[in-house]
Amino acid sequence: MNYKRYSILAAAVLLGILYAFSSGASPSGQSERVIALPELEQPSQIVVEGGRIYFADSRDVLVYDLRDGRLLRRIGRLGQGPGEFSIEPRRISVLGDRLIVQDMGHADCFNLDGVPTGQVRHPGSMAFYPVLPVGRNVVGFPIVRDDQGSMLPTGRIYDSRLKLIRDFYGALPALPAAPPPPGRAMERIDELLIRDYGDYAVYGNRIYVADSRRGLSISVFDANGLLLREINPAVDKVKVPKVFVDAVVKEWKASKNWQAHYSYINPVVPEYFPALLDFKIDQGRLCVLTAAKKNDLYEIIVMDFEGKILERKFRFPLKPNFEYPFYNRNKYDIKRDQLIWYAYNDETETYELHIR
């Protein structure tokens, strides 16, 4: 036996195994990096921009290097002074050289080194949607009461002094009402098991508004709230299977809120899932998450800004939130065609960053 040749072959096999393990090859065959983030306490959102990862955490904003997961800095803290947050950071945005953190009644602005640069006051109620600068104006979806008395998030453009310029978009899909406080008598109610999705983003002095009630629809506006184009490619509808409904009800029954809340709900199930569940903007392309599923991976459709479909792949590994699709944006981001998300590792009791 040629022991030298055998040793070389064995070493090569071992190196191959170690490489596959370190690269985190996923079941789908895609390479995956996993980086421990021991500093994170209770993250609520991830944003990736300019080679950095920004986390809205329980007390501050943590910034990591995308290349190696090294903690670069902490921005802000809980408090009432300049650059401090009166509530836990929940929604953050990185626009050019600015980090914008939504706070109670206003948005805190920082440069990318974490130095406070001022505030933008919320015009009206911004309980769920952010207020963002766009060009020389400000865009937001304050909660507005309609003629029937319903409170709905309505798109509005303001000037730099927060004087209303125009309403540029009607109400986004209504969010579900908060459950009643514990101990309050409940009546059996109908509740949507799957809700329509609506949200917006600012990119390059343009406003992109997604609304699943119109199909796979993204409306594009300029900084003054004037409509530039409607993106609405034709895609097949995805039916809601009975096994999906059964699985959700099973989760409800196992929940600690079953007796107090879920047991009083009659689940109302639409025939089809919403056409989109979230969207990101990456390198001048729209990346849309859909309910189509294959091998436990959900579909991401990539389009140009004219609405031409460039790519369709099953690559999203997380389970989307169908009851509250507004929150799907928090768990992941897409940059340079890399899918980046965070998850909690129960064994190590540490949050981890996944890059695929």
* pLDDT tens string 103-152: 988 899 999 999 999 988 888 766 678 889 999 999 999 887 777 666 78
Least confident of 158-162, 209-213, 295-299, 310-314: 158-162
Q: Does residue 34 belong to any structural domain of this protein?
A: no
Residue numbers of the domain that contains 229:
173-335
Q: Please report, rounded to a whole number, the percentage of residues in the chain having pLDDT higher than 70.
A: 86
Q: Does residue 49 belong to any structural domain of this protein?
A: no
Q: Please report, rounded to a whole number, the percentage of residues in the chain having pLDDT higher than 90.
A: 67
> What per-residue confidence (pLDDT) applies to 239?
97
Average pLDDT over residues 143-170: 86
Q: Does residue 288 belong to any structural domain of this protein?
A: yes
Q: Does residue 115 belong to any structural domain of this protein?
A: no
pTM of the predicted model, to two decimals? 0.87
> What per-residue confidence (pLDDT) applies to 127?
62
CB 100 within 8 A of CB 168: no
Which residues of 238-346 form beta strands (DSSP E)? 265-268, 278-282, 285-294, 297-303, 309-316, 332-335, 338-345
> What per-residue confidence (pLDDT) applies to 105?
85
Average pLDDT over residues 180-206: 82
Q: Does residue 68 belong to any structural domain of this protein?
A: no
Using DSSP's 3-state secondary structure scheme, residue 339 falls into: strand
> What per-residue confidence (pLDDT) applies to 204?
92
Q: Residue 173 and residue 153: Cα distance in Å, rounded?
A: 8
Nearest partner of 40 among 356, 340, 355, 353, judged by Cα: 353
| Segment 276-303, tens digit of pLDDT | 999 999 999 999 999 999 999 999 999 9
Q: Does residue 41 belong to any structural domain of this protein?
A: no
For residue 336, what is the DSSP state? T
- 108, 124, 161, 164, 209 from 121: Cα distances, Å: 9, 9, 9, 13, 22
Angle made by CA atoms 321, 327, 329, in degrees to the nearest 5: 105
Q: How many distinct structural domains can be found in the chain?
A: 2
Q: Does residue 356 belong to any structural domain of this protein?
A: no
CB 77 within 8 A of CB 84: yes
Nearest partner of 175 among 143, 205, 145, judged by Cα: 143
Least confident of 90-99, 137-146, 203-212: 137-146
Q: Does residue 20 belong to any structural domain of this protein?
A: yes
Higher-confidence residue of 171 and 226: namely 226
Q: What is the mean pLDDT of the chain?
A: 87
Q: Is the pLDDT of residue 11 over 90?
A: no
| Segment 213-253, tens digit of pLDDT | 999 999 999 999 999 999 999 999 999 999 999 998 888 88
Sorting pLDDT into bands at 50, 70 and 90, what band is 153?
A: confident
